[in-house]
Structure 1
């Protein structure tokens, strides 16, 4: 499959994930402009094909041009890929619109942000709807993927979600190939929730593992966490198939079980007695689950959904509850049916 008609993608955000997606696109033959704020890091990417800050010791493929000039990156592109933290997504949309309002209304775009806007508790597609009066074709890319493995060319599967079937199919061709398999999905809400909520649940898994509670507890957190994700997803209009797929169960299992996950490492650090602030400083990169825990608790209340694991993670992060006490609170809950007798 050829990635036509788009030939140059501007990836906005030179962190680990943005760099990894830029590498995947470049391997598939697209021209890629990678924009970042850190001049030294951008210079290293451009001159030595290495993101020394976020992905040291990995060589990036040829075909990536790095710049700190946002106008240059946007003006020379056929499509945009926002790879910034979710809490800066709205600001980036505005920056691009201010640079070239006409182009912002015509150039298709994707986002790779996995989170919920902190203050509004909006999903990213809701941010797009608020900021773009007449948006061009758009969607998101998500699924189980660690940046280092994508840059290394290891086999990876991703989901491209968009309500525009033609655009979703076209965007899939940008990623599909060179060790990566891409799938399209029309369920934007479900894919966004899967990518966001798995970060909160990974904090819980890291904490239970850090406390030495074993594989049984980890499996329980993953499966009951998936049930919480599906309850909220159903209330918000997501599809069950999505939560059992790559962007749901796939991303959840990956993030909960491997120490490449910053969110899992946050949970491990909390179990060692570090404060959330000290743990994030130790990790040294953005940890999306920290903000998402607060938003997830608010969404659960808004939609009347029971999310006890999310509530306990929130209590550990924001209410000074000890991780061991949070686990005990979950164990002390009254027994209930996993599946109701006599009907669904």
Structure 2
């Protein structure tokens, strides 16, 4: 077990006009035994961050410490980290058992007896559901099975830190959900520090003790899943968590209330907010909206259903709120028995505590949250 400390880490690929800033002033402190998730879109710098910790990439500036020991000049095989790459990278000429046993037979990690190899491989493959594949070769496996073998090859090796680069990306939805649960159980059982990167917000929320949201090489926000879901630091983070994306409205302060959508959206102006020129943006998650009239302490809207789509046991509605010529399109996710149809006029409501308020900005810009963000807040 080990802590991981990353301080002011910077990495740029290329030079001059072709330079791409992969990491910029990244600061992270990962606790001993913590399952820490880095969430971000493609190109955010997630893989570069992992490779920097592993020693596979040399950063121009900044420091990495593992278990309190600076890693500058320390070769990858002396860092006692195990990394799972997004690609499988299996030995095609070896069986699944021999692929899994390869790190246990390396002189750099200390050789294990045949019985010790068998015990460790049996434990990991049982958890990953691949114990029946040990005599097969990679060419005889499906993509999902290869992915699990590649992950097992990392987990079978005792290490201070596991570095996991989107290890579930090639699995189907059902298997991904199953593997999320098993990975979480593995992390709790082994109590090994894990740094896991993903572009999937559901994985981040399900697995992480804490989450860092990464954008264009910079850490935007760090906090627990609850913190980041309930108090996103800006609209980029709010849109990154949730599908469909959060609804955003431009509003103005009028008579002690925030109003928008042609006056159809109105909520009390929170006392702690200092709004520039009385303007702001309001965010409402589609699942927080309820069909029907609301009572005291709720925000109420009325609109016409322009589109209704069935998503299994759920329905997704697009509701036009505001002036007919220039309506706001509100996405609502409700149970399939909601009863609304295209063309119906419906009432919507949600609890005021589920309303997010951000600073004003152009629709294409990210707006900073007004009021408390998270306990750890933002690292910029």
TM-score, normalization by structure 1:
0.32
Q: Which has the larger radius of gyration?
A: 2
Question: Which structure dedicates a bigger proportion of its chain to strand?
Answer: 2
Higher-helix-fraction structure: 1
